[in-house]
Amino acid sequence: MIIIFAIFYFLIIRPQQQQLKKHKEMVEGLKKGDKIVTTGGIIAEVIKNEKDHLKVKISDNTIVKIDKDYVAKKIEDTPTTAES
């Protein structure tokens, strides 16, 4: 029984806890100007990082408040080269 619990801990529980910790750190580290993708697939730009919510801009005149739990990932800015 102990061996089964140890296997579950190292294969399921521990990796999930580490993933949640990384996600929380990423969300807490968001700042104005960062681009994110929500779990619904909306790409937005962070305007303000509040305690429980983020104010994000999804178009020129549309600013909405979203819960931090619905941030899927941060989009890293990578320079693109123009193809000729």
Per-residue pLDDT reduced to its tens digit, 12-47: 999 999 999 999 999 999 999 999 999 999 999 999
* Residue 79: per-residue pLDDT: 62
Residue 81 in this model has a pLDDT that exceeds 70: no
Fold of the CATH domain 2-75: SH3 type barrels. (2.30.30)
Six-digit token string for 38: 């929500």
CB atoms within 10 A of CB 38: 18
Q: How far apart are the first and last CA of the chain?
A: 63
Evaluate whether 1 touches 31 at the Cβ level (below 8 Å).
no
Q: What are the boundaries of each domain within the chain?
A: 2-75
Would you state the pLDDT for residue 76? 85
Per-residue pLDDT tens digits for 5-14: 889 898 999 9
36: left (phi over 0), alpha (psi -120 to 50) or beta: beta
Contact 44, 57 (CB under 8 A): yes
Q: What is the pTM of this model?
A: 0.72
